[in-house]
Structure 1
Amino acid sequence: MNMKSRINNYYLLVVWRILLIYIIYTLCRVFFILFNNHLLDTISLSQLTRIMWGGLMFDTSAILYTNILYIFLSFLPVPFVKKGLYQKILKWIYVVTNFIAISINLADCVYFRFTLRRTSMTFFSEFTGDVNFFQIFFQSILLYWYVFLLGIIFLLALVYLSGDCTKSSKLYDRNLNNNVKYFNSRFGYRFYICQCVALLITAPIFIIGVRGGVTRTIRPITISNAGDFTDKAIHTAAVLNTPFSLIRTIGKADYKLQKFYPDYDAMAGIYTPLHTPLTDSAQTADPESDNSTRAIVTTGESAMGKNIVILILEGFGAENMQFLNKNLKTNYTPFLDSLSKKGVLFTNAFANGRKSIDAVPSILASIPCMINSYAVTPYSTNRIHGLPKILDSLGYYTAFFHGAPNNSMGIRAVSRLCGIENYFGKDEFGDDSKFDGAWGIWDEHFLQFVGDELPKLPQPFMANIFTLSSHHPFKIPEEWKDLLPDGDVPLQKTIAYADMAVNKFFKKIETQEWFKNTIFVIVPDHSTLWGISPEYGTSIGNTRIPMIYYSPGYIQPGIYDGVTQQIDIMPTLLGMMGYNEPFFAFGRDINSDASPQFAVNYTSGQFQLVMGDTLLFRSDKELKGVYILPDDPLLKNNLLEAPGGEELMASPTLQAQDAYFKALIQQYVNRLIENKLTVD
């Protein structure tokens, strides 16, 4: 074998190693689609082709980013580049770097089930200081052992299929390794030229690859570019890979000033988060008057001075509630169903985020999660006046109860940002024997603790209670395993456990003196994302949640089918209290007809808005999709792509809806950036 063929083989080795990473990334994408197919809607063959083709562009960027050190060191024009030790170091740089990237990619196949988007750098902010992180991580490995096994298989592929350039390899050159002087005298000039040429060729390939194209109009690709290869927002996660998502969000807030309208005044007549209540609000109207526009009918007196209890239920998606799903054979929520008959049940309610940390600002400060979790953005320290802060100014005692370790998931920190003064967590509970080994104190025991603490609070009080047991890894106490119904998925048994715990909690507090002078709001933090039924597997279906307003002797029982969301809770409660000072909230008072019903959230790089029966998808540039929910619950027919799509775009109704959508996005994004989240 002559020297020239040896040099060529060495370059082929580098090319083969990079090609091997492409193959593994592609297999990861196939596994991602198969593993999460119930959440990705139906993917046709043509859609799959586009997803796989688009995925290559994002894989190229990620592979070049993560292998830049390996490629650079491989092509250094130095004489020891093919020495055995140097080549061993190179190989382990290659193996370790790529195994980390591939492991992250595989882990996100599981984590996607809980967020419905590729993980970004905000993940590290969300779990900062979480003492349970490694416990939960290792429990996840046991639960999803086959994902871990697949990672080991890929590691073995990296080690044994990536070739070698040592003494046992045909590519090894004894003369090159042992006699540098001989190499320099006979082959040096060829080697240096080849190495320099390789570097010169690699540099533009790297630039083109990480940018995603060669034309001057293409900026470096970002997460949102995945939408170019999909018809549905949820499919963008299949186009992307997690290493790319992490790299492209390093140091990025992902918020840019929107310019749909020239200023806030131009949007004021379309949509504004500035609320100026009327003194003669609908909540103080005669109860015998026409209540057709009111969601919650009360005795007519103001709720000012009544205690407020907001019970936030972990992972209680609407699909698990039999009262909302008559075809559900097993009743996992018998108590919640019974409570629905005593209060006002909202059948068309939506979560404004995908994670627990999204729910707290949504519920307590009427700030939804759009793009990233508000609590982990650089804007989380903006000045806000949440519901607890307003109630504190009215003489209310404010408290938050959560059975997790006190610094877990940043819940305590974000509750304080919203205005909570007093926090009760695992530390205050004080009995680690009731710890579930993952997230915190079992719901049954912690809610009994809450029931003991509430009578001690000064009245009036606002108490927020966050359950946690119905969460991955879906464990329940041993004594309840044979007493509660099994479900189609592990989550449902924990839902039944949490429902039982809430039942025992209400039995404890319903005889206490403060109970009858209290408004209860029961709302999940987010849906479950399992998509057991097809209609709950869509990007909007998996944000559907139950919501109940209950106050014995004050709120009349009923069912309301209008659209509502978590961010409506704050303005609705203030409206019921007859609060007549200006305040800031992105949501609306559901008892008022002064603004249209809507629900907003963010999924897979796109905003989605429900207005009445219509669902709209929009990027920050254009309208992407329009669906009629009653006729198309599975989101199969994007009206913009159907015959007559151009006429629809020009229709006054859609024009008005899109105008509202754009105003909402601009108000949200610009006010976060400019720190204008208060009325003053």
Structure 2
Amino acid sequence: MKSYRSNQFFLFLYWLLLFLSGKVLFLLYHAAKTATLSASEIARIFFFGLRLDMSMAAYLCIFPFLLLFLTVIPAAFSRKLINGFVVLCTFFVVLLSTVDLHLYSIWGYKLDATPLQYLNTPTEMIASSSGAPLFLLFLLFTLQLAGGLFLYFRFFQPRFTSQKSTGKKALVSFLWLIFLVLPLRGGWQQIPVNQSDVYFSDKAFANHSAINVPWNVFYSLTKKSYDGHNPYQFFKPEEAQKTVAELYQKPKTVSPAILKTKKPNIVFIILESFTANLVGCAGGEKGVTPELDKLAQEGILFRNFYASGDRSEKGLVALLSGYPVQTTTSIIKIPRKTEKLPHLAHTLKNAGYNTSYYYGGELAFANMKSYILMAGYDKITGKADFPARDYNSKWGVHDHVLFEKVSEDLKKQKQPFFTTIFTLSSHEPYDVPMKTKFLGDDEGNKFRNSMHYTDKAVGNFISEAKQQTWWQNALVVLVADHGHTLPNYVDYDSKAKFHIPLILTGGALAKTGITDSTIASQTDLAYSLLNQLNLPNQDFKWSKDIFNPAEKPFAFYVFNDGFGFITDKGSFGYDNISKQVVQKKGEFTEKDIKTAKSYLQVSFEDYLRK
């Protein structure tokens, strides 16, 4: 019969070995990235990652160790409880690790609590994963689960035939419980272990590989509310506020007018995942978006425009409310906060505009519905408003169906109107109802085809619009909700990931054929449009006028617990976990780093106070 000490030791060892196998599988699954690491870096992934592995193992051992300490419980019953607990936890540990294998390819950071915000729209969540190699992932999940449980029942399960209490056994069991405190918090240091403790390299992939996935999910669940505490306290509040205020000093010069009409009809088209890397006119790959390229020649193109965040719900708030994006959370999750935001639709409605919102998918996805409702749109159209026969996309209806409905509705719409259209066909799984142009079943070409299809749908919509009476008094805004790592898997924290197109077209433009190289971001757009319309925009405090060349040119974006800052001289990305610059291009100074840190500090404080 094994001693109680052996029982606890083997249980703790089991979890460590399971986490070790998960890291090995992660490195093998991402073999191309692993090949860029040296043998020493791979070894350090396991060495530095051990602290989080031990911490998670300790959490998983609390319940079994407590049962082993409570010797009044019959041995057979304790064994069943412990075995059932281990089987259940092994299932979830392996499941999380398997999901992380694919999501890391898309997101570029380790799985955390982010997917939980999509649980209220399971159809959309499933659609997002339909492009994954499901058979391979299921096979890996099954093999790891079966292998782990086989080893557990063969070597690691508690082995005792009685719970006869002795003072020595009780003391040993109690000491094992006390022992868990040390790995739980990662050592005796004052601050408990966190992700930064396992970061050891200037290569993001190496650092990410060291993170324990179940621990990361558990940690993010406990930290995302922040309980009113700002985790980004870089400087004294007044110093940070002064630095940010310098970014938004209003120039004395007046912005040049781009419109020849005072109250144009506005069609605001938000293009799902439209990275500038595949938009030729914006400096990207040629041939994917010929319609956007043509529209850019007919209107105004901004070549240096950037997304503020990396998710659709974050892009909506930045575009329509001019509000900065948060790092590991999103203001759209908390309706009581979004109710306090300004909104382009609300301002235009007060100015006499008829407002409408169109989306071919579930309006509730990522809690977007509450935000849209609070904007006060006169008419909101979602998936449920289309006939079931048109549900030809896993997300809802394809973009050409969406645009056809908008086109018909606008023929009857009272002017002036403000219509927001949010596309979806270029979202995973990138299925399109047309003969594909780019051959191959790889993710890159599937994404190219989806953008090419949406581009064609946009082109058809504009061609139809030009035949309508409302076109000559129209301003059409074409902008992406966020960028993408595809087609070439750019780094998730690089400015290339956040580079998106902004194109203005329509009969209301006073000048056409203009290419503007001003550096700007999504948070600037609503303010700038309202300024052109001579409408109140003072509530859009996190914005500058992109049409005024005297404004300070910069763009700020956030990724998972990090941020990027772009100026006309250079750019950098800063990781808050490792506390170091991880991406850099061109020139930047310590003052730029201070400015970006201040921006994150002050904007997050503003978010907390909403």
What TM-score do the two structures reach when normalised by structure 2? 0.88
Match of 2:495 in 1: 540
The answer on whether the counterparts of 2:282 and 2:302 sit within 8 Å (CA) in structure 1 is: no
Q: How far off its partner does 1:322 sit? A: 3.6
Q: How far off its partner does 1:516 sit? A: 2.1
Q: 2:358 and 2:35 mapped to 1: Cα distance? A: 37
Q: Aligned to 2:424, what secondary structure does the other structure show?
A: coil
Q: How far off its partner does 1:539 sit? A: 2.9
Query: Which aligned pairs between 1:200-219 and structure 2 lie closer than 5 A?
Result: 200-204=175-179, 206-215=180-189, 217=190, 219=191
Q: How far off its partner does 1:624 sit? A: 2.0
Counterpart pick for 2:322 among 352, 366, 369: 366
Q: How far off its partner does 1:467 sit? A: 0.7
- 1:462–1:378 distance in 2 versus 1, CA, 3 Å: closer
The answer on whether the counterparts of 1:615 and 1:626 sit within 8 Å (CA) in structure 2 is: no
Match of 1:649 in 2: none
Q: How far off its partner does 1:532 sit? A: 0.9
- 1:626–1:427 distance in 2 versus 1, CA, 3 Å: closer
- 1:171–1:197 distance in 2 versus 1, CA, 3 Å: closer
Counterpart pick for 2:47 among 43, 47, 53: 53
Q: 2:153 and 2:240 mapped to 1: Cα distance? A: 63
Asked if residue 193 in structure 1 is aligned to residue 168 in structure 2, the reply is yes
The superposition leaves residues 581-601 of structure 1 with CA deviations (integer Å, 9 ceiling, x where unpaired) of 523232321122444222222
Match of 2:87 in 1: 95
Counterpart pick for 2:2 among 4, 7, 16: 7
Q: 1:62 and 1:380 mapped to 2: Cα distance? A: 33
The answer on whether the counterparts of 2:358 and 2:422 sit within 8 Å (CA) in structure 1 is: yes
Q: 1:589 and 1:400 mapped to 2: Cα distance? A: 25
The answer on whether the counterparts of 1:614 and 1:626 sit within 8 Å (CA) in structure 2 is: no
Q: Aligned to 1:200, what secondary structure does the other structure show?
A: helix
Percent identity of equivalent pairs: 22
- 1:134–1:334 distance in 2 versus 1, CA, 3 Å: closer
Which amino acid is 1:526 matched to?
H
Larger Rg: 1
Match of 1:551 in 2: 506
Match of 1:20 in 2: 14
The superposition leaves residues 463-512 of structure 1 with CA deviations (integer Å, 9 ceiling, x where unpaired) of 111111111122223xx235675574422222222222222222222211
Which amino acid is 2:192 matched to?
P
The answer on whether the counterparts of 1:444 and 1:498 sit within 8 Å (CA) in structure 2 is: yes
The answer on whether the counterparts of 1:74 and 1:90 sit within 8 Å (CA) in structure 2 is: no
Match of 2:277 in 1: 319
The superposition leaves residues 528-560 of structure 1 with CA deviations (integer Å, 9 ceiling, x where unpaired) of 2235165x6663322222221223353421223
Query: Which aligned pairs between 1:568-647 and structure 2 lie closer than 5 A?
Result: 568-579=524-535, 582-618=538-574, 624-625=580-581, 628-630=584-586
Match of 1:460 in 2: 416
- Between 619-628 and 544-553, report the one with greater CA deviation: 619-628
Match of 2:150 in 1: 160
Q: How far off its partner does 1:156 sit? A: 0.5
User: Mind listing any 5+ residue stretches in structure 1 that lack a counterpart?
Assistant: 1-5, 285-297, 632-652, 676-680
Q: How far off its partner does 1:575 sit? A: 2.5
Q: How far off its partner does 1:159 sit? A: 2.1
Q: Aligned to 1:439, what secondary structure does the other structure show?
A: coil
The superposition leaves residues 574-619 of structure 1 with CA deviations (integer Å, 9 ceiling, x where unpaired) of 2222336523232321122444222222224222211223223446
- 1:357–1:21 distance in 2 versus 1, CA, 3 Å: same
Q: 2:574 and 2:192 mapped to 1: Cα distance? A: 21
Match of 2:609 in 1: 674
Match of 2:407 in 1: 451
Which amino acid is 1:96 matched to?
L
Q: Aligned to 1:601, what secondary structure does the other structure show?
A: strand
Query: Which aligned pairs between 1:388-403 and structure 2 lie closer than 5 A?
Result: 388-403=345-360
The superposition leaves residues 231-256 of structure 1 with CA deviations (integer Å, 9 ceiling, x where unpaired) of 25565433323322221233432463
The answer on whether the counterparts of 1:485 and 1:496 sit within 8 Å (CA) in structure 2 is: no
The answer on whether the counterparts of 2:2 and 2:160 sit within 8 Å (CA) in structure 1 is: no
- 1:433–1:626 distance in 2 versus 1, CA, 3 Å: closer
Match of 2:200 in 1: 229
Query: Which aligned pairs between 1:414-453 and structure 2 lie closer than 5 A?
Result: 414-429=371-386, 431-453=387-409
Match of 1:492 in 2: 448
The answer on whether the counterparts of 2:182 and 2:188 sit within 8 Å (CA) in structure 1 is: yes
The answer on whether the counterparts of 2:556 and 2:596 sit within 8 Å (CA) in structure 1 is: no
Q: How far off its partner does 1:366 sit? A: 1.2
Match of 1:136 in 2: 127
Q: 1:95 and 1:565 mapped to 2: Cα distance? A: 48
Match of 1:3 in 2: none
- 1:591–1:315 distance in 2 versus 1, CA, 3 Å: same
Which amino acid is 1:93 matched to?
F
The answer on whether the counterparts of 2:49 and 2:211 sit within 8 Å (CA) in structure 1 is: yes
Q: 1:170 and 1:406 mapped to 2: Cα distance? A: 50
The answer on whether the counterparts of 2:335 and 2:371 sit within 8 Å (CA) in structure 1 is: no
- Between 347-356 and 592-601, report the one with greater CA deviation: 592-601
Counterpart pick for 2:210 among 218, 239, 244: 239
Q: Aligned to 2:74, what secondary structure does the other structure show?
A: helix
The answer on whether the counterparts of 2:277 and 2:283 sit within 8 Å (CA) in structure 1 is: yes
What TM-score do the two structures reach when normalised by structure 1? 0.80
Q: How far off its partner does 1:37 sit? A: 6.6
Q: Aligned to 2:519, what secondary structure does the other structure show?
A: strand
- 1:533–1:383 distance in 2 versus 1, CA, 3 Å: closer
Q: How far off its partner does 1:403 sit? A: 0.4
Q: Aligned to 1:281, what secondary structure does the other structure show?
A: coil
Which amino acid is 2:540 matched to?
F
- 1:355–1:455 distance in 2 versus 1, CA, 3 Å: same
Asked if residue 342 in structure 1 is aligned to residue 298 in structure 2, the reply is yes
Q: How far off its partner does 1:146 sit? A: 0.9
Q: 2:197 and 2:375 mapped to 1: Cα distance? A: 34
- 1:346–1:63 distance in 2 versus 1, CA, 3 Å: farther
Asked if residue 413 in structure 1 is aligned to residue 407 in structure 2, the reply is no
- 1:390–1:444 distance in 2 versus 1, CA, 3 Å: same
Which amino acid is 1:559 matched to?
T
The answer on whether the counterparts of 1:395 and 1:460 sit within 8 Å (CA) in structure 2 is: yes
Q: 1:567 and 1:96 mapped to 2: Cα distance? A: 45
Q: 2:367 and 2:567 mapped to 1: Cα distance? A: 32
Q: How far off its partner does 1:77 sit? A: 2.4
Q: Aligned to 1:583, what secondary structure does the other structure show?
A: coil
Q: 1:411 and 1:62 mapped to 2: Cα distance? A: 34
Q: Aligned to 2:525, what secondary structure does the other structure show?
A: helix
The superposition leaves residues 246-268 of structure 1 with CA deviations (integer Å, 9 ceiling, x where unpaired) of 21233432463355555558734
Q: How far off its partner does 1:421 sit? A: 4.2
Q: 1:334 and 1:37 mapped to 2: Cα distance? A: 35
- Between 254-263 and 193-202, report the one with greater CA deviation: 254-263
Q: 1:604 and 1:135 mapped to 2: Cα distance? A: 22
Asked if residue 250 in structure 1 is aligned to residue 221 in structure 2, the reply is yes
Match of 1:650 in 2: none
Q: 1:619 and 1:627 mapped to 2: Cα distance? A: 9
The superposition leaves residues 423-461 of structure 1 with CA deviations (integer Å, 9 ceiling, x where unpaired) of 1111222x1112135211111111111111123322222
- 1:555–1:496 distance in 2 versus 1, CA, 3 Å: same
Match of 1:148 in 2: 138
Q: Aligned to 2:557, what secondary structure does the other structure show?
A: strand
Q: How far off its partner does 1:150 sit? A: 0.8
User: Mind listing any 5+ residue stretches in structure 2 that lack a counterpart?
Assistant: none
Which amino acid is 1:197 matched to?
V
Match of 1:665 in 2: 600
The answer on whether the counterparts of 2:52 and 2:212 sit within 8 Å (CA) in structure 1 is: yes
- 1:248–1:28 distance in 2 versus 1, CA, 3 Å: same
Q: How far off its partner does 1:622 sit? A: 9.8
Q: Aligned to 1:584, what secondary structure does the other structure show?
A: coil
Q: Aligned to 2:245, what secondary structure does the other structure show?
A: coil
Q: 2:348 and 2:505 mapped to 1: Cα distance? A: 19
- 1:113–1:394 distance in 2 versus 1, CA, 3 Å: farther
The superposition leaves residues 84-106 of structure 1 with CA deviations (integer Å, 9 ceiling, x where unpaired) of x5423321210111211220122
Equivalenced residues, count: 603
